[in-house]
Every structure is written in C-alpha cells, then in structure tokens.
Structure 1
C-alpha cells in the first residue's frame, strides 16, 4: 500500500490539476461510467463531531474507493484543522487496498474545482467581479480556483464574523488582489457577477431580490440536512445545476425549495452533462444560473487517484506491506 502524507499531497496536485480531474469524473458520471454510493453521515456523540463516509467508483479511469472523515469543531484549539479526512483507494481489479491518501488539502481543492467548473461552464465570459460569502478555510481555495477559469479584477467578501472578512481582505491585498470586506451579504450580492457561498449557515443569507440578471452563483456550503445559504425563492428563480440531483434535494441548498414544492428534481441539470456536451449551460446573458455543490465521493477519489499516480511515477510516498 502507498501512503501519501498531507504535505506530499499538496506538492502533487494543484488546483488547476483538480479542475481538470473533477471535470473528467463529472463527465463520466453523466455518461453512466462513474457512480457515487450511498453516503453515511452521523453525529458521533463525542467531541461535538460529525463523521461521514463517501464512496464510489469510476470504471472509465478506473478507480474505486472511499473518503472517511468529518468535522471536529474544537480542533483549532489543538492546532489542527476542524475538517479531517482520509481517502482509501482499492485496486478495481482485485479489491485489495492500494493507497491511503491524506485528504484535508485535497478536499479543499476538489471543492474549489467543482465550483470553478460551474463558473467556467455557466457564468458570463465577461464576468470579472467575484463575491465570496464565507471567508473561512475554504475561501482561498474558492478564490484560486475561480481565478483559474475567469479573469477576476475585484473581489467583494463578507463573513458573519467581520474580523474574518477583514483578515481575508488583508490577505488578498498582500497577494496583489483588490478585495473589499463588505458590511453585509447584500452588498456582496449587488456588486458581483459571480458569487460563491461557502458557509455552515442553517438559514438563508443570500436573497432573491439582491441578485442581478446574468449572475452565476456556486452554493457550496450546504452538505447536510438543515443547512441553508440561499432564499428558496432564489433557487426557484434560477436555472439550477447540481453535482448529483438526489443528493441536492436531500442535503444541498435545493432541499428547502424542493420541500416547499418550488422546484422538482427533474428540473435539476447535472453539471457533468454540460461538461460532457449532453446538456446546455447558460442560455442567455440575463439568466441567473446556480450550481448547488453538495460534494460527491468521486470528486475526492479522482484527485486522490491523481496524487497516487503521480507519486508512483516519481517514486514518492511511503510503500508499506499490507
């Protein structure tokens, strides 16, 4: 078995690499060549943690495996990231465990990659102002991924914690990026042509009336029953694209508009179908497009598989008998 550490994973896979890898497996999903298996997600009952297992396989690659981990909210006080996860890959031909990959960084860039793919496929090509709602650990991944697919000239950011949005703006300024820390989410929404939401909110923080015609939104925060970032009226008014429809209406932002009868599952277009040329993306300059990114196992597995292939090609990682 090959073991890939967190620092090595960061060296092996860039956000640009992740964008193309996730694109390939999303397209394979649309063609029926890749499948996500049922998700396990549970409250642990210890350390206020939430633990989950996501699994799947892509026969076109091929790869097979699972990612296990979750959210430990007290980790920052221990000098650790609150999100902790590991990916285990299996040989598709024999079922033998073949690699263990640290997945904290890879989870961040695969999430940014999915959002960026939606932005590349659905946003207006002339969109250059980015709004980021939620400036925690995922926000820089979202920024870097978006900048890989669109020429961003200005960023507007807001967080429920004003100190975090101010710190984010200072970080971007040090990177030479023009960023305004806004006092409200509404100010971000009214300024931006591309909006990324990445918060743990359980109530709407982005409202329909704030969104300009032609805006693209990537809603990346809702991945559990009860989470919500968007006004259901906004979801109903947009043309909605998803990583996986059944998951979007059960744990994504779509769950609220769906349960209210404002949208039907059949209305949701898989992003992979657009990437594979099987469905249309944006159809007008004024259309509001929405990507509800809930996060699927295949995103995790494809970037882990890429890391493993590169490590083996370069003689990196630690091989152990298993």
Structure 2
C-alpha cells in the first residue's frame, strides 16, 4: 500500500512491508527548500500493526537525509538510527463467586468447610502467567483455618507468609469488619502456568475455617468479610496489560467470604417466664374451679361415699336369720 502526503512543499510516499520481512519505507521530498540557520523540520510517521503479528522485542527505525548538491555542513547529522521497545498487549480476567458461613459467638472449637473458586481467563495471546493469591491465615495469635501448616491450593506453590501492616487489628476490624492482609497474616501462593489464547483455568481454596479467631475481636454479633486477593505477574518488558483507562497495570481481584457471627441464645428468661406463667395459669384455674363450686361438690360426693360404705356391713348383721 502506498500513501501520499502533500502539504505545502513536502511530499511523502510510504510503502509498507507486505511480507513481514522487508522493511517499510517512507520517502519525503522537499521542493527547493531554503532554510535559515538553526531551522527545524519535524516529520511525524505513524504505523499500525496486526495485533497477532510477532515483531520480536524491538523495532528499528532509520532516517537518512540527502540533497542533490551533496553539500552539507561538517556538523550536519544526516543519518540517525533509533530502536523502539515493543510490548504486546495482554488481557486476563479473574472471577470468583462469594461464599458464606456462620458461627455462634463463644464457641471456639468449631470448624466448618469453606470453598472458594478463582477462575482466570486469558483473552488476547498465549503467554507465561503467574497468578499470585494471598489468603489470610492467622489473626493475632489464632489461626483462621484448621491445619494451617498444611494449608495449600492445588496447582500453586506456597512461597511465604506476609505479616499484617497494622498493629491495632481489633479496632481496624471493628471499624470496617473486613479481615484481609492489612490486619491478618497472609499466605502467598504463586500459581505459574503457560496459558493459551481464549483458555481458562480454575484454582480452588478448600479447607475448614475455624471459629477460634472470632472471640478476640469482641463482637458477639457481626458480619465479617474474609478477603483474599488474586493478582497477575508476567514479563513486563514484553507485555503490557490492555486497559481502557490510563492505568496499564492489571487489576487486583478480591475473593470474599462472608462470615456471620450470631449471639449465643440464652433461654433463661424464657424458662423463668414460662414457669411463672404456668403457675399463674394454674392459680387462675384453681380459683375459677373453686368459685364454680367444683371442690365443694366433690367434697360432698366423697363424704356421701364414705357414709354409704360404713352403713353397708351393719345392715347385713342386723338381718334376721330364719331357722
């Protein structure tokens, strides 16, 4: 393809590289220019490339100036070469679904299963990619997960534990009810993999979460967000994250689990209230029966039965005997 640019006395013709091997070339001619001393001319040349083309790591641009009379000042610089670093755009998304569990405040030896899935999807081009997952594992002197020493994510390597950045962790958690790496010790997992274009992979956090860390916060009723993070690492000398904003860095994805704490139920008032209510009902029932004469009639019936029972044997003895 040949492009012609005409602007005043300047005419430029560009020939692109069609086979991807030969260099593209732009020739600009200036018709009979007369430049004064220290004059400057600026040429702006723009090129577009197919996003799937491999341009290696650098593009070399050379500029050569010539004139018909070949008469140049000794200080003239008529040849220049410049190398431009090439970075290839990448676009990777991270998704996860929220999870939920709950505990009763004061029960420190309880454990419940919790599972979180992190899906990583690569879009534009294949590349070596590392997903860095940080999971809170210890709050103060209490483990968040059971068997923390053997806590792992399949397909990932545990690299290290990071200490929290704040010391007043109780006040911080009470303020925001967020349990993340700012207040808790976090285990760092590195999940490295070569990912093909338009392919995805899923990493799973699956373990038993403990209730032992809840007591030290002192909130008997609350909802905490246990927040892990997932970020991306790649060769930043070769790749740049595709973004519609000015920030070309990859986002940090949050993986959240809601942990709800309930107050331990206390049935003392209900038991006392139920007992007193039962006694009151019994007293009212007794009073009602008394007013209705139930106890008086029952007493008279019992007396009559007793009198009848005593007269029976006497009558039998007084009966005459026929001889």
Q: Which has the higher strand share?
A: 2
Normalising by structure 1, report the TM-score.
0.21
Higher relative contact order (CA 8 A, sep 6+): 1
Larger Rg: 2
Q: Which has the higher helix share?
A: 1
Normalising by structure 2, report the TM-score.
0.21
